[in-house]
Amino acid sequence: MAYRVLIVVSLLFAVCPSARAEEIRATLLHVNDVYEITAVQGGKQGGLARVATVRKALMRINPHTYTLLGGDCFSPSALGTAVVDGKPLAGRQMVAVLNAVGLDFATFGNHEFDLNEDQFHERLRESRFRWFSGNVRNVTGALFANTSEHIILRVPGKQGGTFRIGVIGLTLDSNRKPYVTYLDPIATARDQVRKLAGHVDAIVALTHLSLDEDTALAVAVPEIDVILGGHEHENVQIWRGIDFTPILKADANARSVYVLDLTFDTVTRRLKMGPRLKTITESIPEDPDVARIASQWVQRGFDAFRRSGFKPEEMVARVPEPLDGTEASVRNRPTNLGELIAQAMLRAFPNAELAFYNGGSIRIDDVIPPGPLSQYDVIRILPFGGNINLVEMKGSTLVRALTQGYGNRGQGGYFQMANITRDLNGSWRANGDPIHPERRYRVVINDFLLTGRERGLDFLKPDGVSVGPVTPGPDIRFALINELKARWP
């Protein structure tokens, strides 16, 4: 058998002298969920200028290195809320720095669609990298302008061969906006695999799906060779499905990146994969050009915050414990960060009894480590701010609101609270006592909830009977700053 194979191969070379056996290698540099253009955790981790340094080092080793983003960069970003030249940056700073890094390709994350339609299209036009997605479309079902449904990387070998890599993009359906439609990711992946069949030698899925959805994708579509994912903010490396498809996710804010070497044998047509997680720490020097551009955007944003009364560089507290601000926590259960903010709301009104607000106001989606906390960190926690208010609320209305807030588990309308508890039987208590339906309670609430736009809470609009009167208070971020200073000076 070995001799027959050798003869066939020899004849192949004789007929097609340009087709020589070789291994062709491509390197993929993967990042996901990047909201900060500079380093985080006091400058010790992350930073796109350091990612640029890693990219250049990989390019020197293998010029066929491609940098990919697995979604979420336009939003939520504290700096993106800064009003510059009369309008919020809304991801403009992210695109500028990612352009400077040399990002090649990106698929959409759910938070790209936090932006309004005009802002979204502006960011697409500013991007020098290429956006693509198999399952995200505009309201008519067509691709967004200047995007594609997949990409094909053609990596030339030294002996005349070519390694073709098809990359498909998939996004979870969790941020419905009037200008966006989503197709089913698994059905889309199967369709993309059919379209790419015979045209590529390997298929990579660049996804912004939950880990459960990525696992289902690996099981349902075994033709996918590797899944480079996003959405989760902590690194993942697991193998799932009949072909043990690797699912790889890096840490958010470029605290780590995945480097994936793909090596293709042009004769055996076998694919070898070498994934490695690389942490991005202060030991990696910053690329000076990218660092300069990032610094310029930070200063523009900080100047805007100063005009709003903030002192972004000021350290306000040294936090002694981790504060849980992850989306999975604050939208499903009480957390220490959620209670801290609610207590800050109470402190702003000394005669208040209770406080609650929608957990979706917390947008940092991270665990804040112990250590110094700056005013800019507070802006990162609550980037959209908004005033808090003292209202009188009838007990029956209060119970109705709390019950709906509890029913909003898993969504932004779940309540974080102070001085309010829920019994195992579902009854609510205020300061340890059952809530009396006819009594009026002094409650601190954020202004968004008073608009009635939160899910199932349209009745919270002030009516002067069950809700009201209303006493306006400070921006919730200033309330939190004051609480931090008082609690951990």
Both 106 and 197 in one domain: the answer is yes
Would residue 10 count as lying in a domain? no
Would residue 295 count as lying in a domain? no
What are the backbone angles phi and psi of residue 3, rounded to the nearest 5°?
Answer: -65, -40
What are the backbone angles phi and psi of residue 429, rounded to the nearest 5°?
Answer: -130, 145
Both 137 and 24 in one domain: the answer is yes
pLDDT above 50 (res 45): yes
CATH code of the domain covering residue 229:
3.60.21.10
Tens of pLDDT, residues 356-385: 999 999 988 778 989 999 999 999 999 999
Residue 53: partners with Cβ closer than 8 Å, 6 or more residues away: 284, 285, 286, 287
In angstroms, the CA 475 to CA 196 distance is 52
pLDDT above 80 (res 76): yes
Both 250 and 352 in one domain: the answer is no
Both 264 and 156 in one domain: the answer is yes
Would residue 2 count as lying in a domain? no
CATH code of the domain covering residue 401:
3.90.780.10
Both 326 and 468 in one domain: the answer is yes
Residue 49: partners with Cβ closer than 8 Å, 6 or more residues away: 38, 286, 287, 288, 290, 291, 294
In degrees, rounded to 5, the angle at the alpha carbon of residue 377 between the alpha carbons of residues 442 and 357 is: 25
Both 385 and 280 in one domain: the answer is no
When divided into structural domains, the chain yields a total of 2
Helix (H, G, I), strand (E, B) or coil at 54: helix
Tens of pLDDT, residues 140-189: 999 999 999 999 999 999 988 999 999 999 999 987 899 999 999 999 99
- Using pLDDT thresholds of 50, 70 and 90, give the confidence band for residue 19: low
Check residue 119 and give its pLDDT: 97
In angstroms, the CA 24 to CA 269 distance is 11
Mean pLDDT, residues 216-225 taken together? 98
Both 146 and 80 in one domain: the answer is yes
Mean pLDDT, residues 340-351 taken together? 98
What are the backbone angles phi and psi of residue 280, rounded to the nearest 5°?
Answer: -105, 105
In angstroms, the CA 41 to CA 57 distance is 24
Would residue 182 count as lying in a domain? yes
Both 272 and 361 in one domain: the answer is no
- Of the residues 230, 257, 290, which one is the last residue of a structural domain? 290
- Using pLDDT thresholds of 50, 70 and 90, give the confidence band for residue 4: very low
State pTM to two decimals: 0.85
Residues of the chain with pLDDT > 70, as a percent, come to 96
Q: Residue 308, exposed/middle/buried by CB under 10 A (0-12, 13-18, 19+)? A: middle
Would residue 9 count as lying in a domain? no
The range of the structural domain enclosing residue 429 comes to 309-487
Q: Which residue has the higher pLDDT, 7 or 426?
A: 426
Q: Residue written as tokens 């070379």?
A: 13
Beta bridge partners of 248: 228, 237
Both 236 and 340 in one domain: the answer is no
